[in-house]
Amino acid sequence: MTELIMHHYDFSNYSEKVRLTLGFKGLVWRSVIIPPIAPKPLLTPLTGGYRRTPVLQIGADIYCDTSLILRELERRFPTPTLFPPALSTIADAITYWAENRLFRPISLYVSGSNLEHLPEGLQADRSVMRGLPPPSAEAMARAVRRNAPLVRVQLRQVEAIFADGRTWIAGDVMTAADLAVYHALWFFTARTDLLQPEIAPFECINEWMGRMRAIGHGEPTPLSATEALDIAADATPEAPRRSQRFDEDVELGTVARIRADDYGRDAVEGELIFLDSNEIVLRRDDPQLGEVAVHFPRLGYDLRPISGAAAS
């Protein structure tokens, strides 16, 4: 099988989620470091415009969003599993909470408390990504005050999960929910140890974070962004599996546009070649790379036909 190529950068917490998945499954992979802010000219030919981090590339198949990346890694490398069926509903619910409720206050608290350590232009870029004006230093300080209590309330909730003596977040075995909660808390100290004292008092959280850290990142070796583009140009996408549509879904073969429904909503256009409960795939003809298949999760993404466009 073609090698796994991850496009990421060091302080990206969603990338840490995938790095640990690669470690958990004991995988060998290639590491392409991408810029943390737009534009990303050596990533765009692969994704067709999706700018968020990380992105997984396997030949000319490009996987966007960690929720799909984890499922794809599970599909290709089923053991050890991150999706034990008995815990899947609770793990999904915890994951949704961690990534949609827990992480945002942490992000605002951490970024506002580490202003002098932020890469040049990062805050302005993140504001554009969310359709907001760039924040002043005063606005960021106010965000720290508003969000520090929201973080502390939720840290107590995480500690309380372990009150019954469980080893992992959703029960007796590790699941994708551990990665979702972990990457949010990992962000506390991704750049500096300034906020470590917030986590220090929570004994169970600290022990569990130690277990998570020990998983490691598997076996990465560096790859340049241009080599990754060459690999995509030399490959053809894998044949799509059999789709499972609902009657209301966009027809296969339609030229369509997909974008995230929350932030970083840059659109990707292409021909719809696959969809099922978990996944949507668009085929793009890229001027530089030729044919690429861009894969997205179904939930959290908005797919619409482009009226008047004809499939090639």
**Closest-CB residue for ligand GSH?**
52
* Interactions with ligand GSH, residue window 113-132 (CB under 6 A): 129
Task: Give the whole-angstrom CA distance, residue 239 versus residue 301.
Answer: 22
CB count in 10 Å sphere of residue 195 = 19
* Minimum distance of ligand GSH from residue 162's CB (angstroms): 24
The residue among 186 and 208 lying less far from ligand GSH, judged by its C-beta, is 186
Give the residue with the Cβ less far from ligand GSH, 14 or 77: 14
Rounded alpha-carbon distances, angstroms, from residue 24 to 9, 27, 139, 183, 257: 19, 8, 40, 14, 34
Structure-block tokens of residue 257: 């546009």
Does residue 30 touch ligand GSH according to CB under 6 A? no
- Minimum CB separation of residue 103 from ligand GSH in Å reads 9
For ligand GSH, the binding residue among 21, 31, 57, 66 (CB under 6 A) is 66
Residues sharing a CB contact under 8 Å with residue 189, sequence separation 6 or more, in sequence order: 195, 196, 199
> Interface mask (CB under 6 A) for ligand GSH, residues 31-50, using x and -?
-----x--------------
Phi-psi region of 32 (alpha: psi -120 to 50; beta: other; left: phi over 0): beta
CA dist., res. 3 & res. 180, Å (int): 25
Q: Does residue 65 touch ligand GSH according to CB under 6 A?
A: yes
Nearer to ligand GSH by C-beta: 220 or 264? Answer: 264
The verdict on 14 binding ligand GSH (CB under 6 A) reads yes
Q: Given the complex with ligand GSH, which of 65 and 198 has the nearer CB atom? A: 65
Using CB under 6 A, which of 6, 7, 12, 112 touches ligand GSH?
Answer: 12
Residue 171 interacts with ligand GSH (CB under 6 A)? no
DSSP string, 140-187: HHHHHHHHHHHHHHHHHHHHHHGGG--SBTTBSS--HHHHHHHHHHHG
Torsion sign across C-alpha atoms 230, 34, 47, 280: positive
Q: Under a CB-based contact definition with an 8 Å cutoff, are residues 103 and 112 in contact?
A: no
In the complex, the smallest distance separating the C-beta of residue 267 from ligand GSH, rounded to whole angstroms, is 15
Q: Is 13 in the site for ligand GSH (CB under 6 A)?
A: yes
Q: Where are the beta strands (DSSP E) in 233-267?
A: 255-260
Tokens 């008995």 — which residue? 86
State the binding string over 217-256 for ligand GSH (x if CB under 6 A, else -).
----------------------------------------
The yes or no reply on residue 19 touching ligand GSH (CB under 6 A) is: no
Q: How many Å separate Cα 46 from the centre of its chain?
A: 16
Is 182 one of the binding residues for ligand GSH (CB under 6 A)?
Answer: no
Among 30, 51, 71, 283, binds ligand GSH (CB under 6 A): 51
Point out which residues bind ligand GSH (CB under 6 A).
12-14, 36, 51-53, 65-67, 129, 264
